[in-house]
Chain A
Amino acid sequence: MEQIIVNGLYLGAQYALIALGLTLIFSLMNVMNFAHGQMYVMGGFITYTVVSQFNIPFFIALIISGMALAVIGALIEKFLFRPVIKKSKRDESTMLLAAGIGFFLDSVILLAFGEKQRGVPKIIDGVFNWDFRIIMPYDRIVIGCIAIAMIIAFMLLMHYSKAGRAMRALAQDKVAATLMGVNVDRYQMIGFALGAMLAGVVGGLLVTITGINLGMGGPTSTKAFIMIMIGGAGVIPGAIVGGFILGMMESVGLSVLSQYGDITYLLIFASLMIFLAIRPHGLMGKPWG
């Protein structure tokens, strides 16, 4: 039992970090970023390339991949999303753009990094063993701790920095924020870059444990969507809660129902639909979503 809870926490920390980026982008621009999973895969591949080709330590590689994704995110926002949002009659048009960017990143990853499963060597060897009740490799503990530290750092940034305050204001009410002198274009770009950076960092963290391959993008996006729906779209604490809930459900489901195959996901999805029918805007979401 303790093992299941620890696994759930570890999964949840990673999921929450992915969902944070997605929900930040959604709250600022009302864009459902279908390319989020692809950004995450890209971060993993960049980390892998930097570590294995240039023999640079893992933690520096992690920072490099975060930076690279931040730049990519900023460029995507400035040259693709911004003009389309301005010209389009309906908000939803950005979905096609996001899906197109997702396909594009997929093909770039395929051409640049190939279709093979990639991984980097473990950063720390050894296994933590507490009386055979909790068995956890040390590197997973380190990654889990980094993920939780990143979440805390992100929350602090959003609450106490000027940029964070501006972004929270934009998420609450765009018109009012503009009237108070918040530079909408600038903070949307920063927000998108930050969201993409988080995706890149998570990809980099995971490459040491499960490795990464091209096909992981789409399913990751779907999972991230589920998390932010559980918590409520566009609400930052909601994304964290949603991430931990999904991580816990997966961990419990996969160990209790393992003999029935894919039934865990069927149950998760079905319960999500029932949950949303009862509470249409998630745990903490705004009613207009």
Chain B
Amino acid sequence: MNKKILAYVALFLVFVYAVVPMLINISGRLDFYYTLTSVALLSIASAGVWLTFYIGRINIGQGAFALAGGYVSAILISQYGFNFWVTLPIAGLFCAVLSVFIGLPILRLRGVYFAMVTLVLTEVMRLTTLALPITQGAKGITSLPLPSGLEIFGLKLIPDFSTLENPKVGFYMMAITLMIIAYAVLYRIVNSRLGHLCRSLQQNEELASSIGVNTTYLRVLTYSISSFFGGIAGASFVAITQSIYPSSFQVADSINFMLNCFLGGLGYVFGPMLGTLMLYFGWDLLFTIGKYQMLVYSSLLIILMLFLPNGVLSLFDRKEKR
């Protein structure tokens, strides 16, 4: 069993690092690099949302943390001259700390109430970035430099992106690497003691706390991990677009993060990854049909939900049982 999983992982790695760039070069559709980079980064944010689903909370507030992470990175780069690679973990940590303060009161809420408060949180974050002087209001922060190189003890780890002949490939590699790390962490969390405890929270919080599970601590911990992912995704997006505005991540984005999780399946670690790929790519591919894009896209969503209400990955589930 373990060997099988390792083989799958190896296959996946070869596919994303070698086969995909090769296919893109053959087909000449270089714009797919950008699409796939976005998918990879969005799926990191969705992974965070999925983790809050795992403790039984509907999180529609990931956009807030993506925006916060993006602004932290952008402000550090533009005003204090930090290297992007240093700001990336700082942005994540900032969001994690922020989410502890926000999470402590609001994680007591459940069900729809939590969902709606996090939805409002996205709007609060957008309005805050509009109002604060350091975020420069609606103008946003623009013309950020491309990520510079990173050296540790003279060892060149990451080349300067502005010297690359095609920074798109660099960004693709960066996003894919971040995504793989994020999902490895997620897989590890789910298949650990922490994962078991989270499942107990999902099923019955009162029972779990009566057995002696520290529910408050667990909730805040998982929520801060989730927000960490959000912050990382937001900061990476800033590096790619080289700009950030209060409207970079809005309520619609937060809802999309949640939809990615639903579509992939809430019971599967890799559900959000697949969901993001399908939603984002589906939307992109349907661009060719012009004004009917939205109609076809939403009909497909509804049909998918009608026939696979437990997510796309539940398709494989059923086959194994037969």
Contact A84 B305 (CB under 8 A): yes
Write the nearest CB–CB distance from B310 to chain A, whole angstroms: 5
Q: Give the chain B neighbours of A261 by CB distance below 8 A.
A: 130-131
Assess the A97–B111 pair: CB atoms within 8 A.
no
Question: Cβ of B263: which chain A residues have Cβ within 8 Å of it?
Answer: 96
Q: Does B128 contact A (CB under 8 A)?
A: yes
Chain B 96-132 per-residue mask, 1 if CB under 8 angstroms from chain A, else 0 = 0000000001101111110111011101100110110
Closest Cβ of chain A to B181, distance in Å, is 27
**How long is the Cα–Cα vector from A222 to B252 in the complex, in angstroms?**
11
Given A276-B113, A277-B108, is A269 in contact with B294 using a C-beta cutoff of 8 Å? Answer: no
Residues 145 to 161 of chain A near chain B (Cβ within 8 Å): none
Shortest Cβ gap from B219 to chain A (Å): 14
User: Is B266's CB under 8 angstroms from A107's CB?
Assistant: no
**Chain B proximity of A204: nearest CB distance (Å):** 24
Number of interchain pairs (Cβ within 8 Å): 137
* Contacts A89-B310, A103-B301, A225-B119; A108 near B295 (Cβ below 8 A): yes
Among B80-88, B186-194, B254-262, the stretch that binds chain A is: B254-262
A26 to B115, CA, bound (A): 14
A92 touches B262 (CB 8 A): yes
| CA gap between A262 and B111 in the complex, in Å | 29
Residues on the A chain within 8 Å of B298, using CB: 100-101, 103-104, 106-107
Cβ–Cβ < 8 Å partners of B131 in chain A: 261-263, 266
Q: Which of A108, A270, A277, A288 contacts B105 (CB 8 A)?
A: A277
Contact check, A269 vs B113: say whether CB atoms are below 8 A apart.
no
Instruction: State which residues 74-100 of A face B: CB under 8 Å.
Output: 80, 83-84, 87-90, 92-93, 95-97, 99-100
Give CA–CA (A60, B106) in the complex, Å: 46
**Given known A-B contacts A32-B115, A95-B58, A272 and B251 have beta carbons under 8 A apart:** no
Interface of B is mostly: helix
Q: Who on chain B is nearest to A263 by CB? A: B131
B299 contacts which chain A residues (CB < 8 A)? 104
Residues of B within 8 A of A262 (CB): 127, 130-131
Q: Is B302 an interface residue (CB 8 A)?
A: yes
- With A104-B295, A270-B124, A289-B113 in contact, do A97 and B305 touch (Cβ < 8 Å)? yes
B290 to chain A, nearest CB (A): 11
Contact A269 B302 (CB under 8 A): no
Considering the chains assembled together, what is the distance between the CA atoms of A26 and B113 in angstroms? Answer: 12
Known A93-B305, A99-B255; contact A289-B123, beta-carbon cutoff 8 A: no
A229 to B110, Cβ gap below 8 A?
no
| Shortest Cβ gap from A111 to chain B (Å) | 7
Q: Is the CB of B301 within 8 A of A100?
A: yes
Identify the closest chain B residue to A276 (Cβ): B117
B113: chain A residues at CB < 8 Å are 229, 233, 276, 280-282, 289
A70 at the interface (CB under 8 A from B): no
Interfacial chain A residues near B128, Cβ < 8 Å: 266
Decide: B258 and A273 in contact? CB cutoff 8 A: no
Majority SS at the chain A contact face: helix
Contact of B110 (CB < 8 Å), options: A93, A111, A265, A289: A289
Q: Is A176 close to B, CB under 8 A?
A: no
Q: Closest residue to A287 on the B side, CB-wise?
A: B110
Verify A84–B262 contact, CB threshold 8 A.
Answer: no
Interface residues of A in 102-144 (CB under 8 A from B): 103-104, 106-108, 110-111
A289→B111 CA distance, assembly (Å) = 7
Q: Which of A163-178 contact B (CB under 8 A)?
A: none
Interface pair A226/B58, CB less than 8 Å apart: no
Residue of A nearest to B299 (CB): A104
Whether the pair A273, B120 counts as a contact (CB closer than 8 A) is yes
Q: Does B291 contact A (CB under 8 A)?
A: yes
B267 touches A (CB below 8 Å): yes
Contacts of B258 in A (CB 8 A): 95-96
Give the distance in Å from the alpha carbon of A188 to the alpha carbon of B119 in the complex.
27
**In the assembled complex, how far is the CB of residue A208 from the closest CB belonging to chain B, in whole angstroms?**
28
Known A-B contacts A87-B309, A276-B106; A95 and B116 likewise in contact (beta carbons under 8 Å): no
A228 to B87: give the CA distance in the assembly, Å.
40
Is A218 interfacial (CB-CB < 8 Å)? Answer: yes
181-220 of chain B: CB within 8 A of chain A: none
A182 CA to B6 CA, complexed, in Å: 54
Q: Please, which residue of chain B has its CB at the minimum distance from the CB of A88?
A: B309
Residues in A neighbouring B18, C-beta threshold 8 A:
none
Taking CB atoms, residues of chain B closer than 8 Å to A273 are 105-106, 117, 120-121, 124
- Between A and B, 5 residue pairs with Cβ closer than 8 Å are A32-B115, A97-B302, A111-B291, A262-B131, A277-B105
Given A88-B309, A97-B306, A263-B131, 8 new contacts (CB under 8 A): A34-B255, A96-B301, A103-B301, A104-B295, A107-B295, A265-B123, A269-B123, A281-B113
Please give the residue numbers on chain B whose beta carbons come within 8 Å of chain A beta carbons, in ascending order: 53, 58, 105-106, 108-113, 115-117, 119-121, 123-124, 127-128, 130-131, 251-252, 255, 258-259, 262-263, 266-267, 291-292, 294-295, 297-299, 301-302, 305-306, 309-310
Would you list the 8 A-B pairs with minimal beta carbon distance, nearest first?
Answer: A277-B105, A107-B294, A100-B301, A103-B298, A88-B309, A104-B298, A96-B262, A266-B127
Name A's B-contacting residues (CB within 8 A): 26, 32, 34, 80, 83-84, 87-90, 92-93, 95-97, 99-101, 103-104, 106-108, 110-111, 218, 222, 225-226, 229, 233, 261-263, 265-266, 269-270, 272-274, 276-277, 280-282, 288-289
